[in-house]
Amino acid sequence: EAGVAQSPRYKIIEKRQSVAFWCNPISGHATLYWYQQILGQGPKLLIQFQNNGVVDDSQLPKDRFSAERLKGVDSTLKIQPAKLEDSAVYLCASSLQGASTEAFFGQGTRLTVV
């Protein structure tokens, strides 16, 4: 079966610019996650969707980050404006039904803000 697809793989932008990441989860997976992984740290959950509703976005910096999951399938994560500290790998994952079922991860988008 096809895995979780993310694009782009790499992105370099200047601070204060905007950027968007795209994720296509595994077909039939109801739960979709966006994580931020700063170098040397574990993934930090930014937002979790169940179908097209938000389960948790408590750690999403809502003044600059936004995410949507239209029609409960694909998702986009946007940063506007970017800061230097946003440099990280942004991981998308999906699971069949909730966090107790196995999460499958994409390869991530490495963002560098200069």
Partner 1 sequence: GNSVTQMEGPVTLSEEAFLTINCTYTATGYPSLFWYVQYPGEGLQLLLKATKADDKGSNKGFEATYRKETTSFHLEKGSVQVSDSAVYFCALSDQGDKLIFGTGTRLQVFP
Check residue 56 for interaction with partner 1 (CB under 8 A).
yes
Q: In whole angstroms, how close is the CB of 63 to partner 1 at the nearest point?
A: 22
Binding residue count for partner 1, defined by CB under 8 A: 26
Nearer to partner 1, 17 or 30 (CB): 30
Non-local CB neighbours of 24 within 8 Å, separated by 6+ positions: 4, 5, 6, 73, 74
The two tokens of residue 14 are 């200047």
**89 three-class SS:** strand
By CB under 8 A, name the one of 19, 91, 111, 113 that touches partner 1.
Answer: 91
Check residue 103 for interaction with partner 1 (CB under 8 A).
yes
Q: Are 71 and 49 in contact (CB under 8 A)?
A: no
